[in-house]
Amino acid sequence: MNPLDLPLHVETHGLDPEPDVDVVLLLHGYGGSTYTWRYWVPHLAKRAHVVLVDMKGFGLAPKPDDGRYTAEDQAELIYRLILQRGFTNLTLVGHSFGGAVSLLVALRLNDEGARRLLRLVLVSSAAYPQSLPPFVKLARYSRLCRIALRLIGATRLVRFVLRSIVYNPEVVHESQVLAYADPLATPEGRRAYLDAALQIVPKNPEALTSRFREIACPTLLIWGKHDRVVPLWVGERLKAEMPDARLHVFDHCGHIPPEELPEDTWARLEAFL
């Protein structure tokens, strides 16, 4: 358990969290971990206090069997982390499911009125109702998914999923596969993975999406042109509805831009920061 008694795994890098130092907090996607950000962290650490989080149920985070794995549940934990550590000058970065969580955290911080959030970065972010990707649909059939994991194995299944969501399957390497497959090696990891899939769609999405226009901080939207998980129209709609959003689309890129095009995406993020 994290020292803050939150079911999160938290790593910090870079500068000490002084009042005049920017804090960059990064949230991974469904089935991901802090590993997602490995290419960006060395750059960010030179200029900010970097906070990497494995959200509840993923990576090295605790995986309690409490049935609370919605985006709202995750956002509440991240909000509590921000308050407990007193973060200000905050840039919140979220990928995919972590982007949806970031949007909810931004709304919560807006409601607080303390002006903690300086910037928002959404990378291939879930946001609006859409067709679920096949690997999430499979996970929602828990019995079928357990059979698949047992017969195929987590490593082979993760390798297939990764290769299916990037633009060029050749960029997927074995260390990447093993990093994402490792949390599925335990019964607790598999259960948390399935619980999160069952709760991935909010109960009242329109009540949340109608509020995105309230997020007025500068927002960078990073998307792969060939994203088959969260299609480009999601980024285009966010740009249209958020007051200060700019969208950058990378060609020859799929659902995980920080891993597919690490230097190009970092250059865009650095310019935004």
Compute mean pLDDT per 10 residues along the chain, 273 residues long, and list them: 76 94 97 97 98 98 96 97 95 98 97 90 96 75 73 87 96 96 91 89 86 96 97 98 98 98 98 96
pLDDT of the residue at 3: 44
| pTM: predicted TM-score of the whole model, two decimal places | 0.94
Reading the block at residue 66, the tokens are 């409490």
Tell me what pLDDT residue 257 has. 98
Write down the domain spans for the chain.
9-132+203-272
pLDDT for res 253? 98
- SS3 letters across the chain: CCCCCCCCEEEEEECCCCCCCCEEEEECCCCCCHHHHCCCHHHHCCCCEEEEEECCCCCCCCCCCCCCCCHHHHHHHHHHHHHHCCCCCEEEEEECHHHHHHHHHHHHHHHHCCCCEEEEEEECCCCCCCCCCHHHHHHHCHHHHHHHHHHHCHHHHHHHHHHHHCCCHHHCCHHHHHHHHHHHHCHHHHHHHHHHHHCCCCCCHHHHHCCHHHCCCCEEEEEECCCCCCCHHHHHHHHHHCCCEEEEEECCCCCCHHHHCHHHHHHHHHHHC
Are 121 and 106 in contact, with CB atoms under 8 Å apart?
A: no
pLDDT score, position 4? 58
The pLDDT value recorded for residue 2 is 46
Q: Which CATH architecture has domain 9-132+203-272?
A: 3-Layer(aba) Sandwich (3.40)
User: Ramachandran region of residue 5, left (φ > 0), alpha (ψ -120 to 50) or beta?
Assistant: left
